[in-house]
Chains A and B, each alone.
Chain A
Amino acid sequence: MLDSNAVGKEYEPFTFEVDRCKIKELCLAIGDNNPLFFDKNFAKKEGYKDTPVSLTFATLMNFWGYPEIWTKMKEIGIDAKKLLHAGEEYEYFEPIYPGDIIKGFVTVESLRSSDTMDIATFKTTFSRDGKTVLIAHMKIVVILGA
């Protein structure tokens, strides 16, 4: 059973410094060889300041920047062992580059329980110099009684 009082809860902000190597590492794992993410000169020719992070980089900032999320999930009644990732949503405002110091603010966006499943959404707002650069929404489901 989820703790419905946790809706709107804000966790302590975390800081993540964007590393060039981490940008490459994510692309290599996905098998994405677009030079935009590897070659600074290429990226500049395409109108970028440097090699930007790829479209799903936020997941990396969340897990490496705020691994406490697993404990936090448990605290509000989510069985992390049975959870399934149901959906992921990104809103992009500014490209993110190597060396950027990004602050992440995680909140519990919604919680819903039924007889058969628990559904939770976490929102992370990422900012640089006080300006929002990216918003991520992660939706997870726990099938109950399984």
Chain B
Amino acid sequence: MRSLKLFLLFSQFALKSTFQARFGVVLFIAGKIVRFLFLFALIFIVFGKVTSIKGYLLNQIIIFYLTFNVIDTISQILFREVYRFRSLVTNGHLDQILLKPYHPFLRVLVGGIDFLDVIVLFPYLGITFWYIFQTPLITTGGLFVYVALLFNALIIVTSLHIFALAIGILTTEVDHTMMIYRDLTTMGRFPMDIYKEPVRSIFTFIIPIGVMMTFPTKALFGLLSPIFIPLSFVLSCSLLILSILVWNRALKQYQSWGS
């Protein structure tokens, strides 16, 4: 309960600082919407001339794209503070957070809710479920597994952000780690089937972009082998445990830069 209160307090601060730069905020949201619409248009341009890509129809490709946007946007909302972590390490302010009587993740992981992405999340969710209900042969079971795998994707996203924090402590490098993470996840905008081997296997199993971004949609269409559903949960939980272990180990190596 105390953690929830603190989370809400940090979110309130984040909201205030976000709207300090109103001009930038408007253009930033406009940029996000433009990018979303352009890539959406790209799908229609492609399907203007072909009927399927790797066996997927227009609606299916759209749902892959929308699902990517939902997962990506939620991760942006929750973990924006990770992008600001580097300066906390390099100027020693992390000390002040570690000394506080609450878990540091409350501040360094989820302490900076990005309200700009909240604005676009609801339309994304609305369009996604509108397209899902427009698509024939979607079963209730498929929908249930889809939602479950969306949560599973968020566990993986959380783990990867904790890894980024740990790397930040060990190397003071966060910005590029996060940008590479962002770029890698964009590979999940479309089904992994479009990629050729070995790219497909690497980004499905070794770097679990496929499990995060495309497994939920594949399960929705009944195209995911049932064995991969429990395996996805095993993978996400293992990653989460591993990321926390790496974080704890990194903390032991942390040296303050205070003056």
Tell me if chain B binds chain A. Answer: no
- Taking Cβ atoms with an 8 Å cutoff, the residues of B that contact A are none
